[in-house]
Amino acid sequence: MAISDKYKTDIEKIKRKYWIDNFNTGIRKVQSEQFAEAIPYFKMAIAILPSDPKAYRSLAFAYAKLDSLKKAETFYKKALEIQPEDVHTLISLGTLYYKAKKYDDAIATFEKVLKIDASNKDAIYYIAVCYDLKGEPDKALEMYNEALKANPDEKDLYFNRGRLFYLREDYDNAIKDFKKVLAIDSTDFDAFCNLGKSYLFLGDRLFKQGNELEQKAGSANKAKIKELKEKEIQFYRKSLEYLLKAAKIKPEDPNLWYDIGVAYVRMGEPEKGKEAFEKSDELKSKK
């Protein structure tokens, strides 16, 4: 016997009411960080209205918070079966893959986001970081450049790109990015350290060039050697400036004091260098 349209409407209203009650209770549990307690309510909401993606997405979020990543993945995918172009769900799934260190899956998911929203900041950011963590610096650098166009005030992007430049021994560009980090956050310890080391290595590079010129005969090299020496000292002085600023933030870091010692020695101040090395050894002995 067929159900009349009136009863169908009434049934749908009742189902929707029960769905809302269960879904909202689940959300309240999530808001109070009762993730395990939220799960039965989202499951009930799904049983009542299996065609609504919000309950699947919320259930996945609760599982993710409980580190049940496989279950979280399953329910994010179910939500995407209903709404395949929902950017919010794609971002959540991509972030889940990122946290699980499934970088290829994360990149593929975030690339789907960019097909829908080409300027999505989160997707560009995570693709850059994933390529970096995968050990693909060329692709990472390309994406960091794109990410910084979308997120010009994101200090982590400048730091990560600066670190890539640093590892490539492109110290000039590394210095630019680490300085941008400090322009955003003037207390960033790692930026001070990396600036100090970048200037230290620039000084070492000039020291090596000067030594090579000294091996060659001819008075024409004397002026160039003098010029290199002056610039070399400037780099060591800048190195020391940033390393000492880092030491004000974390004075108990033994590796930092070792680098400070190296900078002093390079500048021709061996006594101060010796003091810094001794401080480094003392701090290491306490660990």
Tens of pLDDT, residues 140-162:
999 999 999 988 999 999 999 99
Question: Is the pLDDT at 8 greater than 80, yes or no?
Answer: no
Written as six digits, the tokens of 70 are 């496989």
Domain 12-82, CATH 1.25.40.10 — does that match?
yes
Q: Find the range with the poorest average confidence among 182-191, 221-230, 243-252.
A: 221-230
Residue 225: its pLDDT value, please?
78
Mean pLDDT of 9-23: 84
Residue 57 CB contacts under 8 Å (≥ 6 apart), including other chains: 75, 76, 79, 86, 88, 89, 92
What is the CA 47 to chain-centroid distance, rounded? 39
What number of other Cβ atoms are within 10 A of residue 77's Cβ?
A: 13
Q: Map out the domains of the chain as residue ranges.
A: 12-82, 185-287
Question: Is the pLDDT at 190 greater than 50, yes or no?
Answer: yes
Residue 224: its pLDDT value, please?
77
Tens of pLDDT, residues 94-114:
999 999 999 999 999 999 999
Distance CA 261, CA 258 (A): 5
Question: Is the pLDDT at 12 greater than 90, yes or no?
Answer: no
Q: Which of 35, 85, 81 is nearest to 60 (CA)?
A: 35
Mean pLDDT of 191-201: 97
Tell me the residue type at 23: F
Structurally, at CATH architecture level, domain 185-287 sits in Alpha Horseshoe (1.25)
Q: Are 117 and 87 in contact (CB under 8 A)?
A: yes
Q: Which of 155, 101, 95, 27 is nearest to 110 (CA)?
A: 95
Residue 286: its pLDDT value, please?
82
Same topology between domain 12-82 and domain 185-287: yes
Residue 1: its pLDDT value, please?
42
Extract the runs of DSSP E, i.e. beta strands, from 119-238. none
Tens of pLDDT, residues 256-271:
999 999 999 999 999 9
